C-alpha cells in the first residue's frame, strides 16, 4: 500500500510539474506579448520616422517587390498576347528556378482566366512551357478549392473536388514532363504539391526529389516544398524535416541561400509544438549557428537575387528571438513593406505579428528621444 501511495505521489508530482510548466509557458508568452505590445506602441512612430512603413501600407500578398516586367507580361497575356508569355518563360534560359517562377506567375494568372492559355495550347500543342503553365494553373485551381485551413476545418465536399482536380493536374504534369527539355526540373517541381495532396509514400517522394536534384541540386523553391513534405504536419516528423534540411543545405555554397532550409525546419518545429518557448528554443547553440550561417549566405548572394528576401524574412524572426536586435533590424530594413511569406503568414494577422517584432527590435537599438 505504501509503495502504491509512493508511486501515486510521484505521478501526481509529475503531473503538477507538467501543469506548472504549462502555466509558466503561458505566463511567459503573455508577459512577452505584453512587453512587445507596450514597447512596440511606444516606438511605432519612431520606426516610421526612421523610414519604416506603417501597418496600413504593408503588402500581405508578396514577400518583396515585383519586377516591372511582370506587370507588362501579365497585361499582354490578359489582352490575348500569349506569345509574350511564351517569350518571357523562354528568356529565363537555363536559370531553372527563374523559369519555374515565371511558370508560376502565368499559371496563377491562367487560374483566373485561361482564354489566352487555351489559344497558346491550340497553336503550340507540344510547347513544354505551355504545358507547364497549364499544369500549374490546374494546381492553383485545386489549391483554391482545398483552401488553406487544416484538414479538420475542410469539408468532405472540398476534399472530393480537390482530389478530382489534383488527379486532372497530375495528368497535365505528366504531359509537361514528357514534353520538357530533359534538363528542366520545372515539371517535376510542379509534381511536389500533388505529392502532398495525394499522399505519396516516402519512397515515391524520394524518387521525385531525386529527379529534381539531378537536374538542379540548388533549386531553393523545390527544397522548401520538399521540406514541407517531411514536416510533422504533412508526411514526416520534426526529425525527418531537420535531417532533410541539413542534407539539402549541404548541397549549396555560400550565396546559394540553401541555409534557409534549417531555419525553416526549426521554425516549423517551434510552430507545431505547443509547449515550446521560442524565447528559449531559438537560443539553442545549433540554431544560433544556423542563423549566423544564413547571414553569411545572404552576404555572399549575387546582387539582385530576389530569393534573398525569403531568407531575410526568416532571419528577422529568428534573430529577434535570439535577442540579436541590430542584426534583426538590418533584415527588417530590407524586407519592410512586405509580409506575404513565412513566418508572418503563419499567424492569423501577419501584419500584427510583423509589426510587433519589427517595432520591438527597433526599440532595442534606438535610444529614447
Q: What is the pLDDT of residues 180-239, one digit of tens each?
A: 999 999 999 999 999 998 899 999 999 999 999 999 999 999 999 999 999 999 999 999
pLDDT score recorded for residue 366: 84
Taking the CB of residue 361, how many other CB atoms lie within 10 A of it? 28
pLDDT score recorded for residue 367: 73
* Mean pLDDT, the chain, integer: 88
Least confident of 2-11, 67-76, 103-112: 2-11
Taking a C-beta distance cutoff of 8 angstroms, is the pair 123, 85 a contact?
A: no
CA distance 187 to 239: 28
Confidence of residue 2 (pLDDT cuts 50, 70, 90): very low
Q: Assess whether the previous peptide bond of 246 is cis (omega < 30° from 0).
A: no
Q: What is the mean pLDDT of residues 114-141?
A: 96
> Would you say residue 172 has pLDDT above 70?
yes
Q: What is the mean pLDDT of residues 6-32?
A: 38
> Would you say residue 72 has pLDDT above 90?
yes
CA distance 168 to 134: 11
pLDDT score recorded for residue 68: 93
pLDDT score recorded for residue 227: 98
Confidence of residue 143 (pLDDT cuts 50, 70, 90): confident
The percent of residues above 90 in pLDDT, for the chain, comes to: 76
The distance in angstroms from the start CA to the end CA of the chain is 68
- Which range of 22-36, 250-264, 353-367 scores highest in mean pLDDT? It is 250-264
What secondary structure does DSSP assign to 15-55, as a single string? HHHHHHHHHHHHHHHHHHHHHHHHHHHHHHHHHHHTTPPPG
Closest CA to 346 of 312, 298, 322, 313: 313
CA distance 245 to 238: 11
The three grid cell numbers given for residue 125, joined into one nine-digit string: 500543342
Confidence of residue 141 (pLDDT cuts 50, 70, 90): confident
Q: What is the pTM of this model?
A: 0.86
Helices then strands, each counted (H, E), the chain: 18, 0
Least confident of 23-37, 125-139, 145-159, 285-299: 23-37
Q: How many residues does the chain have?
A: 369
Q: What is the mean pLDDT of residues 62-84?
A: 96
Least confident of 195-199, 259-263, 347-351: 195-199
| Dihedral of the alpha carbons of 336, 337, 343, 349, in degrees to the nearest 10 | 130
For 141, phi and psi rounded to 5 degrees?
A: -60, -45
Give me the half-sphere count of Cα atoms (radius 13 Å) on the Cβ side of residue 163: 8
- Which range of 48-57, 148-157, 242-251 scores highest in mean pLDDT? It is 242-251
273: CB partners within 8 A, 6+ apart: 238
The three grid cell numbers given for residue 313, joined into one nine-digit string: 524574412
Amino acid at each position: 500500500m505504501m509503495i502504491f501511495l509512493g508511486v501515486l505521489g510521484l505521478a501526481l508530482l509529475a503531473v503538477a510539474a507538467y501543469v506548472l510548466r504549462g502555466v509558466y509557458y503561458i505566463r511567459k508568452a503573455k508577459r512577452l506579448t505584453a512587453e512587445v505590445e507596450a514597447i512596440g506602441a511606444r516606438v511605432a512612430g519612431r520606426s516610421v520616422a526612421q523610414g519604416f512603413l506603417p501597418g496600413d501600407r504593408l503588402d500581405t500578398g508578396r514577400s518583396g517587390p515585383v519586377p516591372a516586367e511582370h506587370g507588362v507580361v501579365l497585361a499582354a497575356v490578359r489582352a490575348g498576347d500569349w506569345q509574350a508569355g511564351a517569350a518571357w518563360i523562354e528568356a529565363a534560359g537555363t536559370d531553372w528556378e527563374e523559369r519555374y517562377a515565371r511558370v508560376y506567375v502565368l499559371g496563377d494568372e491562367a487560374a483566373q482566366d485561361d482564354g489566352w492559355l487555351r489559344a497558346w495550347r491550340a497553336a503550340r500543342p507540344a510547347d513544354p512551357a505551355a504545358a507547364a503553365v497549364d499544369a500549374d494553373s490546374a494546381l492553383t485551381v485545386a489549391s483554391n478549392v482545398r483552401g488553406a485551413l487544416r484538414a479538420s476545418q475542410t469539408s468532405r465536399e472540398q476534399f472530393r473536388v480537390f482530389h478530382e482536380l489534383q488527379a486532372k493536374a497530375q495528368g497535365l504534369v505528366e504531359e509537361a514532363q514528357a514534353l520538357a527539355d530533359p534538363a528542366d526540373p520545372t515539371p517535376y517541381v510542379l509534381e511536389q504539391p500533388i505529392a502532398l495532396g495525394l499522399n505519396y509514400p516516402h519512397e515515391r517522394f524520394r524518387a521525385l526529389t531525386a529527379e529534381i536534384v539531378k537536374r538542379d541540386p540548388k533549386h531553393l523553391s523545390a527544397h522548401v516544398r520538399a521540406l514541407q513534405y517531411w514536416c510533422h504536419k504533412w508526411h514526416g516528423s520534426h526529425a525527418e524535416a531537420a535531417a532533410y534540411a541539413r542534407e539539402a543545405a549541404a548541397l549549396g555554397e555560400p550565396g546559394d541561400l540553401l541555409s534557409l532550409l534549417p531555419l525553416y525546419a526549426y521554425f516549423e518545429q517551434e510552430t507545431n509544438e505547443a509547449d515550446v518557448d521560442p524565447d528559449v528554443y531559438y537560443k539553442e547553440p545549433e540554431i544560433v549557428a544556423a542563423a549566423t550561417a544564413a547571414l553569411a549566405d545572404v552576404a555572399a548572394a549575387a546582387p539582385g537575387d530576389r530569393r534573398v528576401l525569403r531568407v531575410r524574412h526568416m532571419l528577422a524572426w529568428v534573430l529577434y528571438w535570439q535577442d540579436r536586435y541590430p542584426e534583426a533590424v538590418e533584415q527588417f530594413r530590407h524586407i519592410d513593406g512586405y509580409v506575404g511569406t513565412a513566418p508572418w503568414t503563419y499567424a492569423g494577422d501577419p501584419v500584427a505579428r510583423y509589426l510587433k517584432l519589427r517595432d520591438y527590435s527597433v526599440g532595442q537599438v534606438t535610444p529614447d528621444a
